[in-house]
Chains A and B, each alone.
Chain A
Amino acid sequence: GAGVSQSPRYKVAKRGQDVALRCDPISGHVSLFWYQQALGQGPEFLTYFQNEAQLDKSGLPSDRFFAERPEGSVSTLKIQRTQQEDSAVYLCASTETELSYNEQFFGPGTRLTVL
């Protein structure tokens, strides 16, 4: 595809359920970022992958959050035992190389609502 895609676009979960959010980066892009965007706020960094290696997970808010990118392309963000405070838009972005700064291309996001 031409851009970063994410699925599902919308997810409603009952508190305590596990959810999995998928990101398909631009083909061949080395770096992948996950951000969390609360309502009315700017995106906040969650975690970073360089190919399949998770090099920075300093932004993950709790051990209920887990991300993986096993083959260095598609990534999944998993949230276990969801809580209401997890309600947010989850954004994925990819960049072409691992160089210190490249333009980040963002997906449309997954809006998670926890009831």
Chain B
Amino acid sequence: GNSVTQMEGPVTLSEEAFLTINCTYTATGYPSLFWYVQYPGEGLQLLLKATKADDKGSNKGFEATYRKETTSFHLEKGSVQVSDSAVYFCALYNAGGTSYGKLTFGQGTILTVHP
């Protein structure tokens, strides 16, 4: 079956530090990969996505590259801000069978950025 594994958290950084949150996946075929973010008190929001190998998704200074050879989709940002404090979820969608678009999520990584 499909599964997503994220690095253990929480992650605490100082403002302007470099961020990496690791994500690896297990899936048959060619899944699409996503990062969702959940700010306090809000619903999950799509941050970025990549639909095929070697694609790079990017948004708001965050980037992630779909690496099929290592089955990874690590999230990076060069300089984090306090406003980036949130929970980050890696997820995949696998079109095989009758998936109907349902997402498989990792366990989430709590990011706290201090001034």
Contact = CB atoms under 8 A, between A and B. Distances in A.
Interface of A: 3-4, 31, 33, 35, 40-45, 48, 50, 55-56, 59, 91, 93, 95, 99-109
A3 B32 CA distance: 24
Contact of B100 (A44, A50, A106): A50
A44 B104 CA distance: 7
B17 interface: no
B102 interface: yes
B101 A43 contact: no
Contacts of A33: 101-103
Given A42-B4, A42-B89, A56-B98, A104 B43 contact: no
Contacts of B42: 108
Interface residues of B, number: 25
A45 B91 CA distance: 12
Contacts, number: 65
Sort A-B residue pairs by CB-CB distance and give the 5 closest, nearest first.
A42-B105, A106-B43, A106-B44, A45-B102, A108-B43
A13 B22 CA distance: 37
B105 A44 contact: yes
B46 A103 contact: yes
Contact of A108 (B41, B51, B104): B41
B43 A42 contact: no
Contacts of A42: 4, 89, 91, 105-108
